[in-house]
Structure 1
Amino acid sequence: MTQRVELATVRDRLAVDEVVTEYAVAVDDGDWETYRGLFTSDGRADYRSAGGIKGDAKAVAAWLAESLRVFPVRQHLIVNRRVRFGVWEQDTGDTARVRADYVNPMGAAAGGGDGSAAAPDVVRGGRYAFGMLRTDEGWRLNEVIVREMWRRLPVRPAAPAAP
């Protein structure tokens, strides 16, 4: 590879990584306008493995806004990002696939009012598959597939034994 090609690849890798980060921040902050703006006009997301829906970015954003309302405290940690750029015969390098693991703690409240943080009510983990396209506006998502692999729910205290 020439230095020019290597530099372009590094720039693309950073730009793709930024889209993944913006995706996580948009979901955590409930910024559904930004969420929708990260997708191509025909972009779709599939949250079925996490109990959600599959649909276009607008429909999925509406579903997320409603279903995450009970969890105002959210934090997506997206790690182990593996980026692969398109190298097929017809591809000019304008596509990318990203596989990344995630841990997603969510809570119903920020804490007890004394400045302490509350433990999350639900913690989920799994893997994302992001499909991206280079557009005139930069890299955009054309596909997001969530593969939830595990979920930890709050431990409920056992009911007292009957006397």
Structure 2
Amino acid sequence: MTQRTEHSTVMDRLAIEDLVTGYAATVDDGDWPGYLALFSRDGRADYRSAGGIEGTVEEVAVWLAQVLRLFAIRQHLIVNRRITFDSRDGSPGDTATVQADYLNPMQLAGPDPDTAGPAAPNYTCGGRYHFTARRTPDGWRLTGVVVDEKWREVLTPDNA
């Protein structure tokens, strides 16, 4: 690899890291236009392992907006990111996969979330994301995300 190729690969990795971080931030903040902007036009998402749906990114964004209203606080922690680029003549190509573990503590919304003060999370789940990404004229974009939820814990007043 030449120094120019190595520099380009580092820049591509940073751009993909930004996509994954942007994914977490937009979901946690309920920024659905921002969420959609992270994906290619043909982007798809699959949340079935977490009890959700699979479909176009537009369909999934609508579903997420409805479901996540149940949670007053959301925080994705995405770690152990493994980025793999396709290879083109020995150099990184224009598509990549990312495998990343997640921990997602959330707080279920109460009857009046506007007056509720901060509280500890009472719903936590964890698992692994499988992202796919493609270089586009507008930069790297996600083409897909598959959630592989491995566990969840819901604390009630009885077991908190």
Structure 1 length-normalised TM: 0.89
CA distance in 2, matches of 1:94, 1:137: 13
Q: How does 1:87-126 map to 2 (within 5 A)?
A: 87=87, 93-109=93-109, 113=117, 117-126=118-127
| Larger strand share, 1 or 2 | 2
Q: CA deviation at 1:49?
A: 0.1
Q: Residue 24 of structure 2 aligns with which residue? A: 24
Q: How does 1:13-162 map to 2 (within 5 A)?
A: 13-87=13-87, 93-109=93-109, 113=117, 117-157=118-158
CA distance in 2, matches of 1:108, 1:100: 25
AA aligned to 2:3 is Q
Gaps spanning 5+ residues in structure 2: where? none
Q: Residue 161 of structure 1 aligns with which residue? A: none
What does the per-residue CA deviation read over 1:52-99, in whole Å, with 9 as the maximum and x for residues that have no partner? 00000100000000000010210000000000001167x960000000
CA distance in 2, matches of 1:149, 1:155: 20
What does the per-residue CA deviation read over 1:83-141, in whole Å, with 9 as the maximum and x for residues that have no partner? 0001167x96000000000000111358953xxx3111210000000000000110001
CA distance in 1, matches of 2:82, 2:156: 34
Gaps spanning 5+ residues in structure 1: where? 159-163
Tell me the C-alpha RMSD between the 2 structures.
Answer: 1.8
Matched residue count: 154
CA distance in 2, matches of 1:11, 1:133: 14
Q: Is the 8 A contact 2:108 2:123 kept in 1?
A: no
Larger Rg: 1
CA distance in 1, matches of 2:68, 2:5: 42
AA aligned to 1:69 is R
